[in-house]
């Protein structure tokens, strides 16, 4: 493992775990819901789920790349899928959600790390250090499974609890038809970014 690769992994690990812990602290300190509900809502955000897996991935790659978990996270399909997910976290927040509120203090710092810093660093890591020669177009369909399962989970739990992490999937406010249209649009974005990453991988592999 090269020194620049180690440094980038270390920076992402530090930023990632700090932001996740700080966001949990912020949510807990607000005391808006009972602890069990607060924990469920915390982990119901796609942003949190993906940043958590990404932080875990880079931690394993930094400290235990030869382990079974290291072998899984170093697979080209795994790294590419996580890169797609975290890039979309950044895109959706900065294009749609950023203008809906104005966080301050620690919350602002955490928001920037989770939605801007980590997505950019993850993309840089993938471009510079991840293997790409085994990526195929068919992998795109596989990468859509997780976001599809996430939407199903949110719609089911939201109908029971009334809590929706994001306004564009709030069936109470928008109705089911509008949410399905929004979900289809988001799925198209997932597919597009996935196709772009596979295309980049094939292009770089061909040049090499």
- C-alpha distances (whole Å) from 10 to each of 13, 90, 105, 122, 148 are 5, 20, 25, 12, 31
Residues 70 and 57: beta-carbon distance below 8 Å: no
pLDDT at 208: 64
Separation of first and last alpha carbons in the chain: 20
Most distant CA pair in the chain, distance: 55
Predicted local distance difference test score (pLDDT) of residue 59: 97
Q: Share the mean pLDDT of the chain.
A: 94
- Considering the chain, what percentage of its residues have pLDDT values greater than 70? 100
Residue range(s) defining the domain that contains residue 90: 3-207
Rounded Cα distance between 137 and 199, Å, is 8
- For the stretch 37-78, pLDDT in tens is 999 999 999 999 999 999 999 999 999 999 999 999 999 999
Give 133-171 pLDDT, tens digit per residue.
Answer: 999 999 999 999 999 999 999 999 999 999 999 999 999
Band (pLDDT 50/70/90 cuts) for residue 188 is very high
Nearest-angstrom CA–CA distance, 91 and 123 = 12
pLDDT at 34: 93
User: What's the total number of domains in the chain?
Assistant: 1
């Amino acid at each position: 493992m090269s020194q620049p690769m180690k440094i980038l992994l270390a920076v992402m690990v530090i930023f990632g775990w700090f932001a996740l812990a700080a966001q949990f602290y912020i949510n807990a300190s607000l005391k808006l819901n009972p602890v069990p509900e607060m924990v469920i809502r915390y982990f119901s955000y796609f942003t949190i789920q993906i940043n958590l897996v990404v932080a875990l991935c880079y931690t394993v790659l930094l400290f235990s790349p030869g382990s079974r978990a290291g072998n899984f996270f170093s697979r080209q399909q795994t790294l590419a899928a996580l890169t797609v997910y975290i890039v979309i976290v950044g895109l959706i927040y900065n294009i749609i959600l950023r203008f809906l509120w104005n966080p301050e203090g620690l919350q602002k710092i955490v928001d920037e790390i989770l939605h801007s810093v980590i997505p950019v660093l993850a993309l840089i890591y993938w471009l510079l250090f991840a293997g790409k020669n085994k990526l195929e177009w068919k992998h795109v369909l596989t990468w859509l499974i997780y976001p599809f399962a996430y939407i199903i989970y949110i719609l089911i739990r939201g109908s029971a609890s009334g809590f929706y992490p994001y306004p564009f999937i709030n069936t109470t406010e928008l109705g089911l038809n509008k949410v399905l249209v929004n979900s289809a649009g988001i799925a198209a974005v997932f597919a597009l970014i996935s196709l772009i990453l596979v295309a980049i991988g094939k292009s770089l592999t061909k040049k090499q």
